[in-house]
Amino acid sequence: GTWTIKLDTAVLGEEKVEFLVTVRDDAGAQWGNNNYVSYPNDVKAFLYNVTLPEPAIIADPGVSPVDGTTVVGVQTFTFGFKSATGKLKELELDIYLGDNTGENRDYAEHLGINLPAGSEAVAQWVDELVNNYSKLDEKYHVILAAADYNTDADDNENKEALKANIFYEGDEKAGTWTIKLDTAVLDVEAIEFLVAVRDDAGAQWGNNNYVDYSDEVKAYLYNVTLPID
């Protein structure tokens, strides 16, 4: 008879796999021996080299809404990715507002946000953000206000409000970051996200350095319909 074992060698994460094989029957016969110390001449060892896949991050389902969408009011932005060969590490967003978008964007005026992977990690990120709100550059205040930060509320209230609008769902291999913004609070007619995602295996999807790596940039520009006064 034949025993069959199927393995996804990529999951092993190792460049070699070896089997020491022994087969016995009920009559006392034996083929091979796994005791390579006492019976090295009887050992049947099968060593295989493993070609591991290149580190990769896959947009699954990617960024929503699609680039070029017109948004109005409270808008949910989602960033869904999975790591093919490691664990998701972080979502890096460079956010540009108003006239500082597209070909006119100026890096000096961007809003940089690095969200870790993991629901608890993002919740902790929010806690630290609120705890250090007074130390933030004022340019971040408007984006946080759009995420429901209220300067008249206490820290615990603001933590709960932000956690309802900035969160992660999934596991270490695949998940989705969500950011909900009241675009009317931004008071600009455009918002742009430059998106990069990294994992712990060295893979990266996108690049926020639009000067040196323009071909790798993943930019999502949205027109904003503001309320009529």
Q: Determine the pLDDT at residue 161.
A: 98
pLDDT in tens, 40-67: 999 999 999 998 877 899 999 999 999 9
Q: Determine the pLDDT at residue 129.
A: 97
Q: Which residues contact 226 (CB under 8 A, 6 or more apart)?
A: 183, 184, 187, 189
Q: Note the pTM of the prediction, 2 decimals.
A: 0.80
Place of tokens 């948004």: 71
**Selected residue with higher pLDDT from 84 and 93:** 93
Give me the mean pLDDT over the 128-145 stretch: 96
Q: How confident is the model at residue 10 (pLDDT cuts 50, 70, 90)?
A: confident
Q: Determine the pLDDT at residue 112.
A: 96
CB 229 within 8 A of CB 127: no
Q: 148: helix, coil or strand?
A: coil
| Distances from the Cα of 163 to the Cα of 16, 58, 220, angstroms | 44, 26, 23
Q: Determine the pLDDT at residue 167.
A: 98
pLDDT at 17 over 90: yes
What residue spans in the chain does CATH classification 2.60.40.10 cover? 57-225
Q: 140: helix, coil or strand?
A: helix
pLDDT in tens, 148-190: 999 999 999 999 999 999 999 999 999 999 999 999 999 999 9
How far is Cα 42 from Cα 35, in angstroms, rounded to an integer? 8
Architecture of the domain whose range is 57-225: Sandwich (2.60)
pLDDT in tens, 181-217: 999 999 999 999 999 999 999 999 999 988 888 899 9
Nearest Cα to 190, choosing from 77, 102, 74?
A: 102
CB 169 within 8 A of CB 163: no
